[in-house]
C-alpha cells in the first residue's frame, strides 16, 4: 500500500515549572499504520497526545499535519485537521441514541428543526460501512462498554478523522470484545487511517502495531519496526537499563538483625490482589517491580486501608493489622506517598505550610491534644514548616506560597515532608519519582536511605527499574496481583526484567 | 541545577505575603472598592446615612444574616451548601416561642431551640455525607419540610413571646451603646474566626474542601468534618431565630424566608469559593455588611421593598462578575 506521512512531530519539548515533561520527542505517523506508544505513567505519553489534540501548547519543536506546519492549535482546529482521540473515559451522552450521539453538534437541520430521519439514515450508512453491531436508534446508555467505544470511533470517523488516537482501548473489554476491536482496527488501517495506539499491555501491542515508539522520562527511547520488536527489548526500553554515571547513591547496609516489620501472607482484595505474600524487615527498602495493572498500587492501597481485604492476613510490628481507613493506618504508623500527586496528595490551593503540617497539627496546639478543637500556635507552626523547607531544600518563595504553583518534584518533596513529620514505621511510596527531575530524584533517594537507616521500613514501588535496583535492598516482582518472584542476592536489572518477562509469557 | 529561589525564606517577605493572603485582598480588592463607592454614594445622596444611628441600624439589620453567613462560610468551604437555613431560623425561633408560651423557662426553651438547630444540621449533614445525596437537594428538601412545619404548627400565626428575661438577652436593647443583636453577632464572628483560622478543625475544613481525596489520604475524616460544619450552621441559625424572637417579641413562622440566599450572597461576595477550599470569615462579614448597607441605604432613599431586592440582586451579580473579569485579566 502507498503510505504517506500524516503526522510529523519533531523535537517536541514541554515544560511544567522546572521539569521537562517532554524533551525533544520525535514521532511520525503514516497513513494505514498502527503506531503504538508505550511507556510507564509519567513517561510523557498523555502530554504528547494533549499537544497533538491542542489541549497543551508546546515550548519547542514542530508539528506537521499532512505536511502543513502548525505552531499553535486549538482543540477545535485539531479536530478539523482530522485528529480525534478516543479516551478511556468515553465522552458520550448516555440518554441519547447512537444516531444522536454521532451527529451531536453537527445535526442536519431545516428551519431550525432537527431532521431525525436524515440523522438516522446517515448513521445507518456509517454503521453499515464499517459493519459494527449497532443500530441507530439504540440508546447509548443501554450499550455495553465495547459498543459505546464503537460509537466513539464512529463519531471520530464522522468528523473525517484521519488520525485516530486510541487511549488504552482494551482496558475495559472482554477477550471476545478485544478481538472485535482488533478487526475494527485492521479495517481502519485498510481504510488508510493512521492510528496511535496507547496501551500498557505488551502482548497486544506486539500483535496489533506496525511500529512501536517507547517514551521514558519524556524522551523517545526508540521507534521499532514490528519485525524487530521483542518483549525483552520493549521492557528494556520502558524500564531503562543504561546506567547514568554519577547518579548512583551509596546504599547503606541493612543491619543483620532481621526483625520483620511487616509480614503479608496471602493477601487478597476484591478484584486485583491474589494471595500476595512477602516480608518487609525493619530499616529495609523493599522494591516492588511490576507493570501498571500488576496490582502494585492495589497492594499499596490495601496496606493503607483503602481496599476491602477479603483474604489472608498482615502482621505489622508483631501485631495483627487490618486497616479499614487511612486514619487507622496512620494511627498504626503507616504513611503513603500516593501515585497521583496532584489528585491524591496535594492541597493545591493551600500553602506549603498547611501542606506540610496537615498530619501533625496537634503538635502546635496551645492546650495539648484536644482533637480538632486545639488552637494552633501559628508561630511554632511557621518555624516548624520553615525548618522542614530548609531540611528538604524545598524551592519556593516562602512557606505561604500555594503548593499548586510548585513544580512536580517540589510538590513531591512537600508531600514527603508531610509524612516524614509523622515519623512513620512503614512508608509506602507508589512511584514517587514519576515525572520528577533527576536532581530531585537523587534527593528523594538520599532521604529514603537516611530514614531507612534510622529504622523506617520502606515499600518502594517504581516503574523505573534502574532506580529500583539502585535504591532497594531486595526486590519483589508482581504480576496478576501476586508476588511472583523475590530477588535478594543478585539485584540487577537483567534478573528483574527476566522475572517480569517470565510472568507475562505465562 | 540552578535554583533561582532561596530555599530559606527570609522573615520580611513572609510578613508581606501573609498580609496579602489572609484578607485575600489580592483577589477581593475590586469588590471592596465597589463597596466603598456604593457607601460613598449613599453618604452623598441619602442625607442621614452617615450617622451613628444608621450604622446601628445596619448592624441590627445584618446581625442575623451575618451570624448565619459565618456558618454558611464553613459549610461552603467544605464544598457543600445549605439552602434550609432560612427555614431553620424560622423553625427554631418558633419552637422557642411555643415552649415559652407553654411556660417552659426562657433558658431551657432557648437551649432546646439550639439543640433543634443542631439536629436539623445533623440531619442535613448525615444525609449528605453518609447517604450521599447532594447537599443542594437534601437542604432543598429540609427547607421545604421545616418551612412547612413552622406554618402547620403555628397555623401561620406569630407566637407571642412575653418573657421579660428573654427580652433582655435577645431583645433589641442596647448594651454599652451597642444593640444586643450586634453583641451576639460579635460572639459568633469571633467563634467562627477562631474555629476557621486558629484551630486544627479549621485546617481540616480547608483540606476537606480543597482536596477531598488528599484529605482522606491524610487521615482526615472528611464526612465527620462536613457533618460538624452543618451542625454548627444549624446552631448559629437557632441563635438567629432567638434574636429575631426577641426583636419582634414573637416567633414568626416565616421570618427566615429567603435568609439562606442573603447568607450565601454575603459569603460569595466575601470571596469564598462556591466549590470549596477557599474563603475567610472577615470576607464574609464585609460581604454581609455590604448587603446590609445597600438595604438600609435604599430604604433611606425611599425605595420600596420590591426595588430593594432588584437592586440587591443586580449588585451581587455585578460585583462578582467584575471580580471575575479582573481576575482573568490578571492571569
- The residue-averaged pLDDT of B24-35 equals 68
Give this prediction's pTM.
0.73
- The residue-averaged pLDDT of A273-287 equals 89
* Residues facing B178 on adjacent strands: B175
Q: Can you give the pLDDT at residue B32?
A: 79
Nearest chain A residue to B205 by CA distance is: A372
Chain A contact set for B222 (CB, 8 A): none
Size of interface A-B (CB pairs under 8 A): 115
Could A386 and B216 be called an inter-chain contact, meaning their C-beta atoms sit closer than 8 Å?
A: no
Q: Can you give the pLDDT at residue A18?
A: 62
Coil, helix or strand at residue A503: helix
Chain A, window 258-317: residues with a beta carbon less than 8 angstroms from a chain B beta carbon: 304
- The mean pLDDT of chain B is 83
Chain B contact set for A343 (CB, 8 A): 211, 213-214
Q: Can you give the pLDDT at residue A256?
A: 47
Q: pLDDT at residue B232 above 80?
A: yes
Could B198 and A376 be called an inter-chain contact, meaning their C-beta atoms sit closer than 8 Å?
A: yes
Q: Can you give the pLDDT at residue A418?
A: 92
Spell out where chain B has E strands: 159-160, 174-175, 178-179, 250-251
Joined together, the cell numbers standing for residue A134 give 449497532
Q: Predicted ipTM? A: 0.72
Helix (H) or strand (E) holding A310: strand A309-316
State how far residue B2 is from chain A, nearest Cα, in angstroms.
Answer: 10
The residue length of chain A stands at: 506
Provide DSSP, B181-248.
HHHHHHHHHHHHHIIIIIBHHHHHHHHHHH-HHHHHHTT--HHHHHHHHHHHHHHHHHHHHHHHHHHH
Query: What is the DSSP-derived secondary structure letter of residue A94?
Result: T
Is the CB of A375 inside 8 Å of chain B's CB atoms? yes
- Full set of structural domains in chain A with CATH: 5-239 (3.40.50.300), 262-505 (3.40.50.300)
Chain B contact set for A349 (CB, 8 A): 206, 210-211, 277-278
Give the closest of A338, A395, A401 to B3, CB-based.
A395
Query: What is the DSSP-derived secondary structure letter of residue A405?
Result: G
Q: Can you give the pLDDT at residue B220?
A: 87
Residue B19: inside a domain: no
Q: pLDDT at residue B331 above 50?
A: no
Using CB atoms within 10 A of its CB, is residue B249 exposed (0-12), middle (13-18) or buried (19+)? middle
Residue B22: inside a domain: no
- The angle at the Cα of B193, spanning B192 to B195, to the nearest 5 degrees, equals 65
- The residue-averaged pLDDT of B105-119 equals 92
Full domain range(s) for residue B323: 28-330
Residue B193: inside a domain: yes
Q: Say which range, A112-116, A496-500, B3-7, B254-258, has the weakest mean pLDDT.
A: B3-7
Q: pLDDT at residue B84 above 80?
A: yes
The residue length of chain B stands at: 331
Coil, helix or strand at residue A132: coil
Report whether A63 contacts A3 (CB < 8 A).
no
- The residue-averaged pLDDT of B34-50 equals 81
Is the CB of A109 inside 8 Å of chain B's CB atoms? no
Nearest chain A residue to B217 by CA distance is: A326
Q: Say which range, A253-262, B235-244, B271-280, has the weakest mean pLDDT.
A: A253-262
Position of cell 496481583? A481
State how far residue A52 is from chain B, nearest Cα, in angstroms.
Answer: 25
Report whether B96 contacts B245 (CB < 8 A).
yes
Coil, helix or strand at residue A84: strand
Q: Give the ranges where A421-492 is alpha helix by DSSP (H).
A: 438-453, 465-471
- The residue-averaged pLDDT of A287-306 equals 87
In chain B, the number of structural domains is 1
Q: Say which range, A7-11, A183-187, A394-398, B200-204, has the weakest mean pLDDT.
A: A394-398
Position of cell 481525596? B213
pLDDT tens, position by position, B210-221: 888 888 888 888
Q: pLDDT at residue B67 above 90?
A: yes
Query: What is the DSSP-derived secondary structure letter of residue A404?
Result: G
Could A344 and B214 be called an inter-chain contact, meaning their C-beta atoms sit closer than 8 Å?
A: yes
Half-sphere exposure of B80 (CA within 13 A, CB side): 36
Residue B12: inside a domain: no
CATH of the domain at B305: 1.10.3470
- The residue-averaged pLDDT of A271-287 equals 87
Distance from C-alpha of B215 to C-alpha of A326, rounded to nearest angstrom: 10
- The residue-averaged pLDDT of A276-295 equals 86
Q: Can you give the pLDDT at residue A138?
A: 86
pLDDT band at B3 (very low <50, low <70, confident <90, very high): very low
pLDDT tens, position by position, A130-182: 778 888 888 888 888 888 888 888 888 887 888 999 888 876 677 777 888 88
- Residue B210 makes CB contacts below 8 A (sequence gap 6+) with A347, A348, A349, A350, B276, B277, B278
Could A398 and B13 be called an inter-chain contact, meaning their C-beta atoms sit closer than 8 Å?
A: yes
φ and ψ at residue A240, rounded to 5 degrees? 85, 135
What per-residue string of b and e applies to A223-254 under the rule 16 or more CB within 10 Å gives b? ebeeeebebeebbbbbbbeeeeeeeeeeeeeb
Q: Can you give the pLDDT at residue B242?
A: 93
Q: Can you give the pLDDT at residue A500?
A: 75
Q: Can you give the pLDDT at residue A372?
A: 61
Distance from C-alpha of B33 to C-alpha of B28, rounded to nearest angstrom: 9
Interhelix angle B281-300/B259-269, nearest 10 degrees? 120
Could A398 and B9 be called an inter-chain contact, meaning their C-beta atoms sit closer than 8 Å?
A: yes
Coil, helix or strand at residue A289: strand
Give the closest of A330, A351, A362 to B200, CB-based.
A362
Report whether B212 contacts B79 (CB < 8 A).
yes
Distance from C-alpha of B64 to C-alpha of B2, rounded to nearest angstrom: 55
- The mean pLDDT of chain A is 83
Distance from C-alpha of A223 to C-alpha of B228, rounded to nearest angstrom: 56
Could A358 and B203 be called an inter-chain contact, meaning their C-beta atoms sit closer than 8 Å?
A: yes
Residue B117: inside a domain: yes
Nearest chain A residue to B228 by CA distance is: A372
Report whether A330 contacts A359 (CB < 8 A).
yes
Residue B195: inside a domain: yes
Q: How many CB atoms lie within 10 A of CB A333?
A: 18
Is the CB of A338 inside 8 Å of chain B's CB atoms? yes
Q: Can you give the pLDDT at residue A1?
A: 54
Could B7 and A348 be called an inter-chain contact, meaning their C-beta atoms sit closer than 8 Å?
A: no
Phi-psi region of A435 (alpha: psi -120 to 50; beta: other; left: phi over 0): left
State how far residue A54 is from chain B, nearest Cα, in angstroms.
Answer: 20
Could B217 and A344 be called an inter-chain contact, meaning their C-beta atoms sit closer than 8 Å?
A: yes
Could A344 and B213 be called an inter-chain contact, meaning their C-beta atoms sit closer than 8 Å?
A: yes
Could A390 and B7 be called an inter-chain contact, meaning their C-beta atoms sit closer than 8 Å?
A: yes
Give the closest of A330, A372, A397 to B9, CB-based.
A397
Higher local confidence (pLDDT), A27 or A502? A27
Joined together, the cell numbers standing for residue A400 give 505561604
State how far residue A395 is from chain B, nearest Cα, in angstroms.
Answer: 5
pLDDT band at A46 (very low <50, low <70, confident <90, very high): confident
What does the longest C-alpha to C-alpha distance in chain A come to? 84
- Residue A48 makes CB contacts below 8 A (sequence gap 6+) with A9, A12, A22, A25, A27, A37, A215
Nearest chain A residue to B195 by CA distance is: A373
Percentage of chain A surpassing pLDDT 90? 14
State how far residue A374 is from chain B, nearest Cα, in angstroms.
Answer: 6
Could B14 and A396 be called an inter-chain contact, meaning their C-beta atoms sit closer than 8 Å?
A: no
Q: Can you give the pLDDT at residue A122?
A: 85
Higher local confidence (pLDDT), A20 or A276? A276
Could A374 and B199 be called an inter-chain contact, meaning their C-beta atoms sit closer than 8 Å?
A: yes
Amino acid at each position: 500500500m502507498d503510505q504517506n506521512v500524516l503526522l510529523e512531530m519533531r523535537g517536541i519539548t514541554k515544560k511544567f515549572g522546572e521539569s521537562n515533561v517532554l524533551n525533544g520527542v520525535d514521532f511520525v505517523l503514516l497513513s494505514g499504520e498502527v503506531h503504538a506508544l508505550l511507556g510507564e505513567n509519567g513517561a510523557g505519553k498523555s502530554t504528547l497526545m494533549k499537544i497533538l489534540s491542542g489541549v497543551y501548547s508546546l515550548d519547542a519543536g514542530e508539528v506537521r499535519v499532512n505536511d502543513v506546519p502548525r505552531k499553535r492549535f486549538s482543540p477545535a482546529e485539531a479536530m478539523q485537521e482530522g485528529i480525534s482521540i478516543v479516551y478511556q473515559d468515553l465522552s458520550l451522552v448516555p440518554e441519547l441514541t447512537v444516531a444522536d450521539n454521532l451527529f451531536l453538534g453537527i445535526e442536519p437541520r431545516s428551519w431550525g428543526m432537527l431532521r431525525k430521519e436524515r440523522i438516522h439514515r446517515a448513521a445507518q450508512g456509517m454503521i453499515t460501512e464499517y459493519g459494527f453491531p449497532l443500530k441507530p436508534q439504540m440508546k447509548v446508555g443501554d450499550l455495553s462498554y465495547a459498543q459505546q467505544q464503537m460509537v466513539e470511533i464512529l463519531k471520530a470517523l464522522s468528523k473525517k478523522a484521519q488520525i485516530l488516537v486510541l487511549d488504552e482501548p482494551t482496558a475495559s473489554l472482554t477477550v471476545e470484545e478485544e478481538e472485535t476491536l482488533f478487526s475494527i482496527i485492521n479495517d481502519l488501517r485498510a481504510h488508510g487511517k493512521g492510528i496511535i495506539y496507547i496501551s500498557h499491555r505488551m502482548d497486544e501491542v506486539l500483535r496489533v502495531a506496525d511500529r512501536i515508539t517507547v517514551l521514558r522520562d519524556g524522551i523517545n527511547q526508540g521507534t521499532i519496526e514490528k519485525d524487530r520488536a521483542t518483549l525483552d527489548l520493549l521492557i528494556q526500553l520502558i524500564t531503562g537499563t543504561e546506567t547514568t554515571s554519577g547518579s548512583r547513591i551509596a546504599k547503606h547496609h541493612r543491619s543483620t538483625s532481621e526483625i520483620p516489620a511487616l509480614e503479608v501472607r496471602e493477601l487478597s482484595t476484591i478484584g486485583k490482589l491474589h494471595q500476595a505474600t512477602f516480608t518487609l524487615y525493619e530499616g529495609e527498602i523493599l522494591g516492588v517491580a511490576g507493570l501498571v495493572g500488576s496490582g502494585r498500587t492495589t497492594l499499596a492501597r490495601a496496606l493503607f486501608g483503602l481496599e476491602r481485604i477479603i483474604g489472608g492476613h498482615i502482621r505489622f510490628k508483631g501485631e495483627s493489622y487490618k486497616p479499614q481507613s487511612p486514619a487507622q493506618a496512620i494511627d498504626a504508623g503507616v504513611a503513603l506517598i500516593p501515585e497521583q500527586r496532584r489528585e491524591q496528595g496535594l492541597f493545591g490551593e493551600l500553602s506549603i505550610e498547611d501542606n506540610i503540617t496537615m498530619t501533625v497539627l496537634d503538635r502546635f496546639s496551645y492546650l495539648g491534644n484536644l482533637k480538632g478543637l486545639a488552637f494552633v500556635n501559628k508561630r511554632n507552626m511557621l518555624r516548624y514548616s520553615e525548618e522542614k523547607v530548609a531540611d528538604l531544600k524545598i524551592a519556593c518563595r516562602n512557606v505561604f506560597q500555594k503548593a499548586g504553583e510548585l513544580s512536580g518534584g517540589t510538590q513531591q518533596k512537600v508531600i514527603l515532608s508531610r509524612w516524614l513529620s509523622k515519623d512513620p514505621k512503614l512508608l509506602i511510596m507508589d512511584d514517587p519519582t514519576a515525572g520528577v527531575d533527576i536532581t530531585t530524584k537523587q534527593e528523594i533517594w538520599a532521604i529514603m536511605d537516611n530514614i531507612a537507616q534510622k529504622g523506617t521500613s520502606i515499600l518502594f514501588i517504581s516503574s523505573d527499574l534502574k532506580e529500583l535496583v539502585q535504591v532497594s535492598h531486595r526486590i519483589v516482582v508482581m504480576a496478576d496481583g501476586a508476588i511472583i518472584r523475590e530477588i535478594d542476592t543478585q539485584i540487577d536489572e537483567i534478573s528483574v526484567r527476566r522475572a517480569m518477562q517470565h510472568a507475562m509469557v505465562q | 541545577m540552578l535554583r533561582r529561589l532561596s530555599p530559606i525564606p527570609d522573615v520580611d517577605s513572609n510578613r508581606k505575603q501573609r498580609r496579602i493572603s489572609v484578607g485575600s485582598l489580592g483577589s477581593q480588592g475590586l469588590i471592596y472598592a465597589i463597596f466603598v463607592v456604593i457607601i460613598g454614594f449613599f453618604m452623598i445622596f441619602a442625607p442621614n446615612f452617615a450617622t451613628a444611628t444608621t450604622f446601628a441600624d445596619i448592624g441590627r439589620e445584618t446581625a442575623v444574616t451575618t451570624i448565619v453567613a459565618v456558618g454558611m462560610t464553613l459549610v461552603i468551604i467544605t464544598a457543600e451548601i445549605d439552602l434550609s437555613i432560612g427555614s431553620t431560623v424560622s423553625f427554631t425561633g418558633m419552637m422557642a416561642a411555643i415552649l415559652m408560651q407553654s411556660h417552659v423557662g426562657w433558658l431551657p426553651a432557648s437551649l432546646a431551640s439550639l439543640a433543634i438547630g443542631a439536629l436539623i444540621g445533623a440531619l442535613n449533614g448525615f444525609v449528605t455525607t453518609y447517604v450521599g445525596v447532594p447537599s443542594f437537594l437534601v437542604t432543598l428538601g429540609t427547607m421545604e419540610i421545616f418551612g412547612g412545619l413552622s406554618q402547620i404548627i403555628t397555623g401561620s400565626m406569630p407566637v407571642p413571646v412575653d418573657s421579660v428575661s428573654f427580652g433582655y438577652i435577645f431583645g433589641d436593647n442596647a448594651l454599652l451603646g451597642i444593640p444586643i443583636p450586634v453583641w451576639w453577632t460579635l460572639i459568633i464572628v469571633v467563634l467562627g474566626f477562631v474555629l476557621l483560622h486558629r484551630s486544627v478543625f479549621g485546617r481540616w475544613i480547608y483540606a476537606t474542601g480543597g482536596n477531598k481525596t488528599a484529605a482522606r489520604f491524610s487521615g482526615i475524616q472528611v464526612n465527620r468534618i462536613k457533618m460538624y460544619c452543618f451542625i454548627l450552621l444549624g446552631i448559629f441559625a437557632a441563635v438567629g431565630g432567638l434574636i429575631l424572637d426577641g426583636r419582634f417579641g414573637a416567633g414568626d413562622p416565616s421570618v427566615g424566608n429567603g435568609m439562606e440566599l442573603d447568607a450565601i450572597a454575603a459569603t460569595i461576595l466575601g470571596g469564598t469559593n462556591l466549590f470549596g477550599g477557599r474563603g475567610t470569615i472577615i470576607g464574609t462579614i464585609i460581604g454581609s455588611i455590604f448587603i446590609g448597607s445597600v438595604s438600609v441605604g435604599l430604604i433611606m432613599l425611599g425605595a420600596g421593598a420590591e426595588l430593594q431586592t432588584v437592586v440587591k440582586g443586580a449588585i451581587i451579580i455585578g460585583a462578582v462578575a467584575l471580580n471575575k473579569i479582573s481576575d482573568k485579566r490578571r492571569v
